[in-house]
Amino acid sequence: MRLTDIIKGSEYELSLFTDSQISELEGRLIERQTKKGYDYYFTCSVRKKEIKATPEEIVRQLYLLVLIKDLGYPM
C-alpha cells in the first residue's frame, strides 16, 4: 500500500516531502485485516505505539521525520 492511496480523496497532499521520507514511512506500514477489509497502521516515532494510518496522521508522522532527521530536533 502506498501513502498516496491512503490520502486519496482527502485535502492532504505529500508534495512537501521527499521521496525518501515517504518511502521510509511506507516501509513502516503494517496491514491488518478487519471485518470491513484491511486497515493500515504504523508505529509512531515519538509515542512508540501503533497508530492507524489516517491522512492526518500520515502528514503528522512525515513532519516528525523532517523535524527529527532533517532539522535535528531531539525526540
Report yes or no on 75 lying in a domain. no
Report yes or no on 7 lying in a domain. yes
CB 24 within 8 A of CB 73: no
Residue 75 pLDDT exceeds 90: no
CB 28 within 8 A of CB 58: no
The predicted structure's pLDDT at residue 1: 79
Q: Which domain holds residue 55?
A: 3-70
| Opening angle at CA 6, ends 68 and 50, nearest 5 | 50
β-bridge partners, 33? 38
Report yes or no on 23 lying in a domain. yes
How many domains does the chain divide into? 1
For 47-70, how does the pLDDT look when each residue is reduced to its tens digit (9 = 90+)?
999 999 999 999 999 999 999 999
The predicted structure's pLDDT at residue 10: 93
For 13-53, how does the pLDDT look when each residue is reduced to its tens digit (9 = 90+)?
999 999 999 999 999 999 999 899 999 999 998 999 999 99
Packing angle between helix 55-65 and helix 19-27, nearest 10 degrees?
120
